[in-house]
Amino acid sequence: MKPGVLRSTMLSDRGQPAAREAIWADDQVAFKARAEFAANGLLRKSPHLSAGAPLPGWQKSTIAATAVLLPVAMLFVFIGHGGLMAVCLAIPFALIVAIRTAALWQLVVPRVSRRSQLPHLATHDLPRYSVLVPLFREAAIAPALVHALKALDYPRDRLEILFITEASDAATRAALIAAQLPSHMRVLTVPAGLPQTKPRALNYALATAIGDFVAVFDAEDVPEPSQLRRAVQMFAQSGPELVCVQARLKACETEGRLLPRQFALEYAALFEAILPALERLGLPIPLGGTSNHFRRSGLIEVGAWDAYNVTEDADLGVRLVRSGKHVAMLDSETLEDAPASAHAWLGQRTRWLKGWMQTYLVHMRDPGQLLADLGLWRFFGVQALLGGMILSALVHPWFYVAVFIKLSLGHPVLPEAGGLWALCCFNLAAGYAVGIMLGLIVAQRSNGRIALVSALLVPVYWLAISAASYRALIDLRRRPFYWEKTPHVAREVTAAPSSP
């Protein structure tokens, strides 16, 4: 899909009627082509890699069998033989322990920052850059967003910022226009259609973008002003196989509120430790939904975003690696708002987990092909990261169910040495210990912005994630492509974070 713009609005008052009619017809064809590409580009190009394609028969049978076997496993626990359940509990937690142990290693033995090693590019050498900002019902936050993106340190004659709005969202468009957008910013409206998701909006904008490089930001983002320059410098230092770089996201916690503090702690552990550790280990990096930067040509080559995947970022990170591309972490920071309420957090986490389930099912449609694409080491990484994270969230509460059953039946809760129940308890204890240690370190490095006591509440927070995982499982069955909107509250217009 070549970049372009709608010409009918620019030429509607010029030329002869016949010429205007011909231009309008041409634009209508382009309009429909962009809408089709936005919704079904990947599904048409590579249906086996899109969540929009039906599950294969063997996956449907496996899911059905699991639904039957889980109650059977619980029956074994009831009668005092919990070995099968112990195995179910132990394996995913062992995988998560391995990932978080690698994250601790990343913090204790950090990689030398690459900032000073990046080549300096003169302003006249900077390539064209397109910044895509998908928005839906964000009128309240629009002024602060425009202010934050005005602070980006990049020549305006080489930069375009596209605010992407849905056809039904006139309020956000009005708020953006009222913000008096400079010439390098414009509003783009996505035509009504299904699925109404962020990746569909991004695909629609990508078809009109003129940049050689593309970045994605969310409505509440305040990126470091130098982030685009640093991304270009990193691309220039690397070969064409580097297609995407991911900046760090830092959640701005709501002072004194427990859940936003836990969310901020989780973000700090993920972007300061876990994702950098995955990069050092050569494992696939599940992208964050914002502050990722792409070579436009490489992004289009892999089919861009999957409009049917509600965690399109994690899916794209795996798909890029499967196609032989490289993804790396960018030493730059973007501030984001933590969810303001428990309801907002639950909706956001449900969507994330539903998308991770979609992503795992998609890439495991043909395990043999996935193994061939990734190799054994990265294939194991996908099982540990995606499979382990999903399974651990689902089975975590059953440990406490098993403890309750043992107490009810008068059985000892503490495990006997060498048994499967002992392995289960060890894995859970190790998971808690490593998670709390990771939280304590990142909390200490946050200069007091995240209370240290929040790290000790990690086990409780994980139980909340488990609740969201079951909600996500139900949502995956009922409305797989539904995008649960995360509401953002209006904030004062503040300065963007400065570049060190």
pLDDT of residue 182: 95
- Whether a cis peptide bond, with omega within 30° of 0, leads into 195 is yes
* Cα(312)–Cα(197) distance, integer angstroms: 10
Q: Is residue 14 part of a domain?
A: no
Angle in degrees, CA 394, 398, 401, rounded to 5: 155
Q: Is residue 2 part of a domain?
A: no
Which residues does the chain have with pLDDT short of 50?
A: 1-17, 19-26, 495-496, 500
Per the listing, tokens 């895509």 go with 132
Q: Which amino acid is at 332?
A: S
* Cα(89)–Cα(395) distance, integer angstroms: 6
Per the listing, tokens 């702690």 go with 265
pLDDT of residue 51: 95
Q: Residue 154 to residues 80, 280, 290: CA-CA distances in angstroms?
A: 65, 30, 18
pLDDT of residue 89: 63
Q: Which amino acid is at 5?
A: V
Query: b/e per residue, 455-473, with b = 16+ CB within 10 A?
Result: bebbeebbebbbebbebbb
Closest CA to 468 of 346, 355, 314: 346
Q: In this structure, what DSSP letter does residue 1 have? A: -
Residues 6+ apart with CB under 8 A from 71: none
Residues 6+ apart with CB under 8 A from 391: 88, 91, 92
List, edge to edge, every strand of the sheet that includes 242-252.
Answer: 185-190, 159-166, 129-134, 213-216, 292-295, 242-252, 326-337, 222-223
**Backbone dihedral angles phi then psi of residue 345, each to the nearest 5 degrees:** -60, -45
Other beta carbons within 10 Å of 323:
15
Alpha helices in 337-419 (DSSP H): 342-363, 367-382, 388-409
Q: In this structure, what DSSP letter does residue 497 have? A: P
CATH number, domain of 107, equals 3.90.550.10
| Domain carrying residue 74 | 30-500
122 by Cβ neighbours in 10 Å (0-12 / 13-18 / 19+) ranks as exposed
Q: Is residue 8 part of a domain?
A: no
Domains: count for the chain: 1
Sequence length of the chain is 500
* Cα(497)–Cα(23) distance, integer angstroms: 45
3-state helix/strand/coil string of 225-283 = CCHHHHHHHHHHHCCCCEEEEEEEEEEECCCCCHHHHHHHHHHHHHHHHHHHHHHHCCC
Distance separating the N- and C-terminal Cα atoms of the chain: 38
Alpha helices in 46-141 (DSSP H): 57-78, 83-108
Other beta carbons within 10 Å of 81:
12
pLDDT of residue 82: 56
Tokens representing 468 are: 């969201």
Q: In this structure, what DSSP letter does residue 115 have? A: G
pLDDT of residue 277: 93
Q: CA Rg, the chain, in Å?
A: 24
Other beta carbons within 10 Å of 2:
7
* Cα(388)–Cα(89) distance, integer angstroms: 11
Q: Give the torsion sign (CA, 468, 473, 479, 482).
A: positive
Alpha helices in 164-226 (DSSP H): 170-178, 198-206
> 400 in helix, strand or coil?
helix
pLDDT of residue 214: 98
Q: Is residue 16 part of a domain?
A: no
pLDDT of residue 5: 36
* Cα(174)–Cα(189) distance, integer angstroms: 12
265 by Cβ neighbours in 10 Å (0-12 / 13-18 / 19+) ranks as buried
* Cα(152)–Cα(148) distance, integer angstroms: 7
Q: Is residue 10 part of a domain?
A: no
